[in-house]
């Protein structure tokens, strides 16, 4: 997994490396700066004879910029140090690197107020006469610890960098994180650099991974600065993204021996559908079938059974007496058919009638097998919180932001303002001592938690904002549980693969693909992962 420490955890990681493993901080800074220059030359070609304006801010981020300047100088480039603070404000390892570059006599501008910023463009123009246009603009102003709005001449400098990049086509290299981007929240703190590439140190940061920040972060490159892996045993980081090791694990979990039969891959029962919404249950079934579930059955009200029988040949049906909606009166029939089932999906298109709500609450409490709860079933839980009993087995809740808002009794805007807090609040509210609970908060950068870890998903795109996509996901998660995955793994991998399918479809077709199209893409994406073709996904 790719861990994503927040700023405080990253500070603890640095301090652990320095204090417990006796790696001097200046060595970490040296590795950061040298690694950034190596990245720049790999992406941009030789730096020799080119000039590079480097914008220096306070703290260690400014110190990283000084190391970058020195290594560029070593490679016969011409660094231009643009100090946005008085240099004597630098302390510790940054001050040590300042003393070195001062001895080297590198070209320097001190622009610690708005009145002096005009000198930057003039100096760049002068250097461009002899060295051509800048090889890159290096943003070393603010690092991952920024927690306040960028104002004053710092904001003006960021606007100047943006203008130079936009008008002159000069790439911007962000040092550790684009200045002005909240590395924990992903929000813009006043104004923000738009980088061509970000060289982040040690580990990627949560805010950098959010899809909305792609135009600000650009291509994200993690620089190994020499932090021993043992450090992670001493600093707890509880948010991560899927990486190449996870995909290898997923591939192994999906391999099938030659003597397999359908009974080896589970039997999923889907409780969904009602007049006008039979498609929701069918899409969940389609997602399960196309992701490799051994057997899939749809629990069908008697009046809707002909629709299911004719629409999806691969799915079986369990017919109940109620003609239009699944109700509490159908519980005996449902319980009779659960003996050979591995997992249940409930909610896609069920409706929210009182009798249906009673059935949802009964099954939520009584079933010992895993249950994926989606759509109408989530809204029933939100409306009937006081009637929810302690569940007897694993439960996977899959709300989109609107459903999450109803579950928590807040607004969708509040959920979206702090998605991780909403995820944790939902987990805390619905978790009971003796059962497993998984929450998937859908949407851009979906979040999944089973309590200990939060998994941030990096796949998916706005073209997936269409009806039925969540139904396919619920079937996919149920399918993976049927195939032997733990509920939390089925959830995080299901979300990841669901987004991969959407990404592949968008690449080929643009917007306009349907939930059925996405379900039908699942075998291709799964096959690619099984064959190892997706090594660049993570």
- Are residues 45 and 101 both part of a single domain? yes
Residue 258 belongs to a domain: no
- Are residues 221 and 292 both part of a single domain? no
Residue 41 belongs to a domain: yes
- Are residues 222 and 306 both part of a single domain? no
For residues 371 and 151, what is the distance between their CA atoms, to the nearest angstrom?
50
Residue 259 belongs to a domain: no
Residue 505 belongs to a domain: yes
Contact 46, 73 (CB under 8 A): no
Q: Which CATH number goes with the domain that contains 218?
A: 3.40.50.10260
Contacts of 435 (CB under 8 A, 6+ apart): 390, 391, 392, 393, 394, 395
- Are residues 289 and 206 both part of a single domain? no
For residues 82 and 110, what is the distance between their CA atoms, to the nearest angstrom?
6
Residue 436 belongs to a domain: yes
Q: What is the pLDDT of residue 83?
A: 98
- Are residues 442 and 303 both part of a single domain? yes
Is this prediction's pTM over 0.85?
Answer: yes
Which range marks the domain in which residue 136 is found?
A: 2-237
- Are residues 293 and 146 both part of a single domain? no
Number of separate domains in the chain: 2
Residue 260 belongs to a domain: no
For residues 505 and 370, what is the distance between their CA atoms, to the nearest angstrom?
30
Contact 270, 282 (CB under 8 A): no
- Are residues 124 and 271 both part of a single domain? no
- Are residues 217 and 273 both part of a single domain? no
Q: What is the pLDDT of residue 537?
A: 52
Q: What is the pLDDT of residue 355?
A: 98
Q: What is the pLDDT of residue 538?
A: 53
Q: Which CATH number goes with the domain that contains 515?
A: 3.40.1190.20
Closest of 515, 521, 418, 503 to residue 461, by C-alpha? 503
Contacts of 382 (CB under 8 A, 6+ apart): 403, 406, 407, 409
- Are residues 228 and 322 both part of a single domain? no
Residue 486 belongs to a domain: yes
Question: SS3 sequence, 265-313?
Answer: HCEEEEECCCCCCHHHHHHHHHHHHHCCCCEEEEEEECCCHHHHHHHCC
Residue 537 belongs to a domain: no
For residues 5 and 211, what is the distance between their CA atoms, to the nearest angstrom?
18
- Are residues 436 and 359 both part of a single domain? yes
Please list the pLDDT of the chain residue by residue as tens digits (538 residues).
899 999 999 999 999 999 999 999 999 999 999 999 999 999 999 999 999 999 999 999 999 999 999 999 999 999 999 999 999 999 999 999 999 999 999 999 999 999 999 999 999 999 999 999 999 999 999 999 999 999 999 999 999 999 999 999 999 999 999 999 999 989 999 999 999 999 999 999 999 998 889 999 999 999 999 999 999 999 999 999 998 788 888 888 888 999 999 999 999 999 999 999 999 999 999 999 999 999 999 999 999 999 999 999 999 999 999 999 999 999 999 999 999 999 999 999 999 999 999 999 999 999 999 999 999 999 999 999 999 999 999 999 999 999 999 999 999 999 998 999 999 999 999 999 999 999 999 999 999 999 999 999 999 999 999 999 999 999 999 999 999 999 999 999 999 999 999 999 999 999 999 999 999 999 999 999 888 754 555 5
- Are residues 228 and 115 both part of a single domain? yes
- Are residues 196 and 339 both part of a single domain? no
Contacts of 535 (CB under 8 A, 6+ apart): 244, 247
């Amino acid at each position: 997994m790719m861990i994503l420490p927040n700023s405080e955890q990253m500070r603890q990681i640095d301090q652990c490396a320095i204090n417990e493993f006796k790696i001097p901080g200046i060595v970490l800074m040296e590795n950061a700066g040298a690694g950034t220059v190596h990245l720049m030359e790999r992406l941009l070609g030789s730096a020799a004879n080119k000039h590079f304006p480097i914008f220096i801010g306070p703290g260690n981020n400014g110190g990283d910029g000084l190391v970058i300047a020195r290594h560029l100088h070593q490679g016969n480039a011409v660094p231009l140090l643009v100090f946005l603070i008085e240099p004597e404000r630098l302390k510790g390892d940054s001050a040590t690197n300042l003393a070195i570059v001062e001895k080297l006599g590198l070209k320097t501008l001190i622009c610690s107020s708005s009145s002096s910023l005009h000198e930057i463009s003039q100096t760049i123009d002068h250097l461009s006469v002899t060295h051509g246009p800048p090889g890159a603009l290096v943003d070393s102003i603010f690092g991952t610890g920024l927690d306040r709005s960028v104002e004053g001449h710092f904001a003006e400098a960021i606007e100047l960098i943006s203008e130079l990049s936009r008008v002159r086509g000069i790439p911007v290299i962000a040092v550790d994180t684009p200045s002005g981007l909240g590395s924990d929240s992903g929000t813009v703190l006043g104004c923000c650099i738009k980088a061509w590439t970000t060289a982040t140190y040690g580990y990627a940061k949560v805010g950098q991974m959010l899809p909305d920040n792609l135009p600000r972060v650009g291509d994200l490159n993690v620089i190994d600065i020499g932090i021993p892996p043992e450090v992670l045993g001493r600093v707890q980081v509880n948010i991560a993204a899927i990486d190449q090791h996870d995909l290898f694990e997923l591939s192994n979990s999906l391999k099938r021996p030659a003597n397999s039969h359908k009974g080896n891959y589970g039997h999923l029962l889907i409780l969904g559908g009602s007049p006008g919404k039979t498609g929701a249950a069918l899409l969940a079934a389609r997602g399960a079938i196309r992701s490799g579930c051994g057997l899939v059955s749809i629990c069908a009200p008697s009046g809707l059974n002909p629709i299911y029988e004719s629409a999806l040949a691969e799915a079986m049906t369990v017919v109940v007496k109620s003609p239009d909606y699944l109700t509490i009166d159908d519980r005996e029939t449902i319980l009779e058919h659960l003996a050979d089932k591995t997992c249940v999906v409930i909610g896609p298109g069920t409706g929210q009638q009182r009798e249906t709500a009673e059935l949802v609450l009964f099954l939520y409490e009584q079933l010992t097998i895993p249950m994926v709860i989606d759509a109408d079933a989530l809204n029933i839980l939100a409306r009937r919180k006081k009637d929810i009993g302690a569940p007897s087995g694993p439960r996977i809740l899959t709300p989109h932001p609107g459903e999450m808002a109803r579950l928590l009794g807040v607004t969708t805007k509040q959920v979206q303002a702090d998605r991780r807090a909403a995820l944790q609040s939902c987990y805390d509210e619905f978790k009971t001592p003796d059962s497993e609970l998984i929450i998937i908060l859908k949407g851009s950068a979906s979040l999944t938690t089973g309590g200990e870890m939060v998994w941030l998903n990096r796949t998916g795109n706005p073209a997936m904002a269409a009806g039925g996509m969540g139904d396919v996901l619920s079937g996919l998660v149920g399918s993976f549980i049927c195939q032997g995955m733990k509920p939390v793994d089925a959830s995080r991998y299901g979300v990841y693969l669901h987004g991969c399918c959407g990404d592949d479809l968008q690449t080929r077709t643009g917007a306009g693909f349907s939930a059925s199209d996405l379900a039908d893409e699942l075998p291709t994406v799964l096959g690619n992962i099984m064959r190892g073709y997706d090594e660049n996904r993570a």
